[in-house]
Chain A
Amino acid sequence: MLSAEEKKLIQSVWAKTQEDFGGEALCRMFVSCPQTKTYFPHFDLSPGSAQVKAHGKKVMNALSTAVKNVDNLSQALSELSNLHAYNLRVDPVNFKLLSQSLQVVLAVHLGKDYTPEVHSAFDKFLSAVAAVLSEKYR
Chain B
Amino acid sequence: MVHWTAEEKQLITSVWGKVSVEECGAEALARLLIVYPWTQRFFDTFGNLSSPTAIIGNPKVRAHGKKVLTSFGDAIKNLDNLKATYAKLSELHCEKLHVDPENFRLLGDILIIVLAAHFTKDFTPACQATWQKLVGVVAHALAYKYH
Contacts and interface: CB of A to CB of B under 8 A. Distances in A.
A136 B109 CA distance: 28
- What is the interface residue range for chain B against chain A? 20 to 34
B50 to A, nearest CB: 14
B121 A116 contact: no
Interface in A81-138: 100-101, 103-104, 107-112, 114, 116-117, 119-120, 123
B121 to A, nearest CB: 6
B113 interface: yes
A107 B113 contact: yes
Contacts of B123: 104, 107-108
Interface of B: 27, 30-31, 34-35, 52, 55-56, 109, 112-114, 116-121, 123, 125-126, 128-129, 132-133
A120 B128 CA distance: 20
Closest 5 CB pairs of A and B: A107-B116, A107-B117, A32-B129, A120-B35, A32-B132
A31 B113 contact: no
A80 B123 CA distance: 32
A2 interface: no
A107 B114 CA distance: 8
Interface of A: 27-28, 31-33, 100-101, 103-104, 107-112, 114, 116-117, 119-120, 123
B72 to A, nearest CB: 18
A111 B109 contact: no
B129 A31 contact: yes
A109 B120 CA distance: 6
Central interface residue in A32, A33, A101, A117, by most chain B CB within 10 Å: A32
Contacts of A101: 128
B32 to A, nearest CB: 10
Contacts of B132: 32-33, 100
A104 B116 contact: yes
B125 A32 contact: yes
B117 A117 contact: no
A31 B125 contact: yes
A116 B126 contact: no
A119 B125 contact: no
A58 to B, nearest CB: 20
Contact of B35 (A31, A112, A116): A116
B129 A116 contact: no
